[in-house]
Structure formats: structure tokens, C-alpha cells
């Protein structure tokens, strides 16, 4: 089934979901801004680009320094491929319904609502976990440059033998420290090229999405960042252009640029039962931009795990599945990570049930609207 979703079409398995009653009614207009938490700030130092930069404190990429991760990305070209003997066999990956639960942004393939977002670990671990995710049916991948393991990810894609046309792959660029249009444009172009160099390790010569990890320090810098993305799209190397950790004002730096040719499709933000401030979804929806949640679970399970598990019993679902389902029913999607095959399976299996209005409201009552 394909549904209209603001500017997007939503394909679902035939149950009503995504922009349900709740999303339509509960998010009042607001000027809320997004502020990456302090750990992120200490590493990537997002600056104010016309709107304050916010932050809950969901744990971000593991504590390894982000600059180190970027340096590791460049150095990783020298790494040998991981030993095949040490990874799970990918004999017959399960047929995947991932593309049925997806949004269509206009690129060559749909954007599945469930994404595996690689964390900071080495190429070997990235290789193994990507194969595991593929095996369980994940088809949307968030391979950030900040995780420092795009080569391991790309090699797993190649070795899985799953056709590239069945996958949605997102890379990222970190260029938020450059001030001014020209400097931001040059740094972002360099980042785009580095993504393609890393992805080439797995024969990937086209990305479905490229995402800015953070907004530049002011409007001119953001416009320079965006111009580089537009050039990449015009060259045919990427389909969908996206941002992360952008406030409303920062989005408007792009949307208000008379020279901009393409709009952001996605704003990846912290959004979960542990952090759902009023207005967060709304300021994106008003601009026709879809929210993909980062850290959909890590702050949720420790604090609310028992409550979610109690609700999940009614549906024969786990606490994590309830937390992810709540995100989807709110109208967002998610990128999550795990090191466990059974958790990969659970995290993908959230499209065959629907939380009742009573349970959805109960979850809103017991959880934080902000931190």
C-alpha cells in the first residue's frame, strides 16, 4: 500500500501507520531548535547557524574522537579486508519487506523506515555487523563518515551479493567547522569525494543519500555546504540530499536560498520516547522534511524498559519494538544499531502491529518531552 505523507509517499504493509491521528494533532507549532549534546559538541563543535543548536543527551557515536574517526577513514584504505573465516555466513539472506515499509523521496529507490546506523568501531566489526543486518533483512544503511568504517561496510555490501538495487545507502559529510560559503563548499566537496573513495572499497559508485552531519556556523556556510551536495547530485553520484541536527532556522538557510535547486529530504535528529519535545516533528513537517530518529533506543530502554515491556506484552512485542513502533506511529523513521542478530530481527519487525491510541497516549504520559 502506498500512502500520501506530506510531501512523501509511504508504502506500508496494509496497516494504518506513520501519520496517524497522533501526528496530525499533537505537535503544536514551535520554534524548538535542535542542539547536539555536549559529547558531540566537544568533538564536532556544531556552531550557531542562525538558530541555536540544541541537545538532548542521547549518547551519540561512541566516545572515540570524531577527528580520529575521520582520520581513520582516510587511513583505512590501507587496511586489508577482514578475514572471511571470522564472519557469519550469509548463505541465504531472508527475503526482505524493508522496501515495502518505506518513503519515496523521488530518488531511484524507496527509503526504508528502519535503518541500521553503524556506530564507531573498526572495519572488521562494521563488516560483520553489516552482513548480519543484511542477513536479517535490513536494506537501509546509515554509514556515517564519523563512524570511521565505511570501507568495512562497503566490503560487506559487496560480499553479500545482494543486488545494489535492493539497498538504500546513506553517506555523510562533516564540514561544519568551515566558515564562509567558499570554504564550506570546498570542504564539503572534499567530503563527498572521500565518501565515494571509501564506498569504492565495495564497488559502490552511487549513493542513495548524502547527509550533512552538522550545519555550518552561519547561513553562508550552510549554503556553501548545500551547494556542494547539489553539485554531487547534478553529477549523478547521489539521489537524495539530507541534513542532520538542523534547527528550523538552519533549514531555512537552505530553503530561503534563491539559488538552491534541491530541498533536503530528511533531517536526522535525536527523537525517541526519552526525547520528544513539542514542535520537533512539526517544524520539519511544515517544511516538507521527514525526521529520521538517531538514538531511538539507547536512552529509552534503561529508563522506561519495564513500562514498554508491559505494553509490549499485549502485542507480543519487546520493549525495544514498542519504542521503535512509537517513533514510526509518530510519523518519523529511525536508524538504530545493535550487535545482536536477534535484536536486528526485532528492530526490523515493527511494521506488523499498531499501538492503540490509549497505549500511545500512555507512553506520552510516562516519558519525557524534553531533557
Ligand X SMILES: NC(=O)c1ccc[n+]([C@@H]2O[C@H](COP(=O)([O-])OP(=O)(O)OC[C@H]3O[C@@H](n4cnc5c(N)ncnc54)[C@H](OP(=O)(O)O)[C@@H]3O)[C@@H](O)[C@H]2O)c1
- For residue 96, what are the CA distances in angstroms to 54, 104, 136, 277, 353? 36, 17, 8, 33, 17
Q: Is the CB of 40 or the CB of 134 nearer to ligand X?
A: 40
Could you give the 3-state DSSP secondary structure of residue 100?
helix
Q: Is the CB of 61 or the CB of 360 nearer to ligand X?
A: 61
Q: Is the CB of 229 or the CB of 294 nearer to ligand X?
A: 294
Q: Is the CB of 59 or the CB of 180 nearer to ligand X?
A: 59
The backbone torsions φ and ψ at residue 204, rounded to the nearest 5 degrees and listed phi first, read -90, 115
Using CA atoms of 262, 266, 268, 272 in order, give the dihedral in degrees to the nearest 10. Answer: 160
Q: Is the CB of 97 or the CB of 213 nearer to ligand X?
A: 213
Q: How far is the CB of 4 from ligand X (least distance, A)?
A: 27
Q: Is the CB of 11 or the CB of 320 nearer to ligand X?
A: 320
Q: Cα(36)–Cα(74) distance, rounded to whole angstroms?
A: 25
Residues that bind ligand X (CB under 6 A): 36, 40, 58-61, 117-119, 142, 144, 213, 244-245, 268, 294-298, 301, 318, 320, 335-340, 343, 346-347
Q: Cα(148)–Cα(72) distance, rounded to whole angstroms?
A: 6
**What angle (nearest 5°) sits at the alpha carbon of residue 7, between those of residues 27 and 105?**
120
Q: How far is the CB of 9 from ligand X (least distance, A)?
A: 25
Strand order, beta sheet including 102-104: 2-5, 8-11, 102-104, 111-112
C-alpha grid cell for residue 348?
A: 526490523
Q: How far is the CB of 321 from ligand X (least distance, A)?
A: 7
Q: Is the CB of 12 or the CB of 119 nearer to ligand X?
A: 119
- The answer for 193, left when phi > 0, alpha when psi is -120 to 50, beta otherwise, is alpha
Q: Is the CB of 11 or the CB of 143 nearer to ligand X?
A: 143
Ranges assigned E (strand) in 52-166: 102-104, 111-112, 114-117, 140-143
Q: How far is the CB of 293 from ligand X (least distance, A)?
A: 8
Q: Is the CB of 61 or the CB of 326 nearer to ligand X?
A: 61
Question: Which residue has its beta carbon closest to ligand X?
Answer: 117
Q: How far is the CB of 349 from ligand X (least distance, A)?
A: 9
Q: How far is the CB of 244 from ligand X (least distance, A)?
A: 4
Q: Is the CB of 11 or the CB of 276 nearer to ligand X?
A: 276
The sign of the CA dihedral 19, 56, 52, 191 is negative
- For residue 293, what are the CA distances in angstroms to 58, 149, 333, 336? 11, 21, 6, 8
Q: Are 202 and 158 in contact (CB under 8 A)?
A: yes
Could you give the 3-state DSSP secondary structure of residue 173?
strand
Which of 132, 94, 100, 121 has the alpha carbon at shortest distance from 344? Answer: 132
Q: How far is the CB of 26 from ligand X (least distance, A)?
A: 22
Q: How far is the CB of 146 from ligand X (least distance, A)?
A: 8
Q: Where is 124: in which H helix or E strand?
A: helix 123-136
DSSP at 201: G
Q: How far is the CB of 296 from ligand X (least distance, A)?
A: 5
Q: How far is the CB of 238 from ligand X (least distance, A)?
A: 17
Which of 48, 82, 45, 76 has the alpha carbon at shortest distance from 145? Answer: 76
Amino acid at each position: 500500500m502506498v500512502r500520501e505523507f506530506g510531501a512523501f509517499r509511504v508504502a506500508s504493509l496494509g496497516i494504518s501507520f506513520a501519520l496517524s491521528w497522533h501526528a496530525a494533532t499533537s505537535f503544536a507549532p514551535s520554534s524548538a531548535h535542535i542542539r547536539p549534546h555536549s559529547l558531540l559538541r566537544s568533538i564536532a563543535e556544531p556552531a550557531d547557524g542562525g538558530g541555536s543548536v540544541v541537545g538532548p543527551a542521547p549518547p551519540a557515536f561512541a566516545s572515540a574522537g570524531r577527528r580520529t574517526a575521520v582520520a581513520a577513514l582516510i587511513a583505512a584504505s590501507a587496511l586489508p579486508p577482514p578475514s572471511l573465516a571470522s564472519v557469519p555466513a550469509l548463505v541465504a539472506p531472508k527475503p526482505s519487506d524493508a522496501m515495502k515499509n518505506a518513503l519515496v523521496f523521488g530518488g531511484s529507490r524507496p527509503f526504508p523506515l528502519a535503518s541500521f546506523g553503524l556506530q564507531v568501531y573498526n572495519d572488521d566489526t562494521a563488516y560483520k555487523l553489516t552482513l548480519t543486518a543484511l542477513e536479517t533483512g535490513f536494506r537501509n544503511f546509515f554509514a556515517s563518515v564519523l563512524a570511521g568504517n565505511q570501507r568495512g561496510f562497503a566490503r560487506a555490501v559487496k560480499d553479500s551479493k545482494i543486488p545494489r538495487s535492493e539497498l538504500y545507502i546513506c553517506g555523510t559529510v562533516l564540514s561544519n567547522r568551515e566558515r564562509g560559503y567558499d570554504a564550506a563548499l570546498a570542504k564539503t566537496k572534499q567530503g563527498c569525494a572521500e565518501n565515494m573513495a571509501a564506498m569504492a572499497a565495495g564497488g559502490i559508485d552511487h549513493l542513495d543519500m548524502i547527509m550533512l552531519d552538522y550545519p555550518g556556523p552561519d547561513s553562508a556556510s550552510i549554503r556553501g555546504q548545500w551547494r556542494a551536495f547539489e553539485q554531487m547530485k547534478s553529477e549523478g553520484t547521489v539521489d537524495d540530499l539530507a541534513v542532520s541536527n538542523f534547527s528550523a532556522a538552519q533549514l531555512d538557510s537552505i530553503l530561503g536560498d534563491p539559488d538552491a535547486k534541491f530541498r533536503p529530504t530528511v533531517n536526522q535528529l535525536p527523537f525517541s520516547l526519552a526525547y520528544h519535545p513539542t514542535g520537533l516533528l512539526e517544524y520539519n513537517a511544515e517544511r516538507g522534511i521527514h525526521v529520521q530518529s538517531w538514538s531511538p533506543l539507547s536512552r529509552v530502554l534503561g529508563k522506561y524498559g519495564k513500562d514498554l515491556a508491559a505494553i509490549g506484552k499485549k502485542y507480543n512485542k519487546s520493549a525495544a519494538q514498542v519504542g521503535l513502533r512509537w517513533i514510526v506511529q509518530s510519523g518519523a523513521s529511525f536508524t538504530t544499531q545493535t550487535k545482536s542478530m536477534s535484536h536486528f530481527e526485532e528492530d526490523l519487525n515493527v511494521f506488523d502491529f499498531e499501538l492503540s491510541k490509549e497505549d500511545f497516549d500512555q507512553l506520552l504520559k510516562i516519558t519525557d518531552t524534553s531533557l
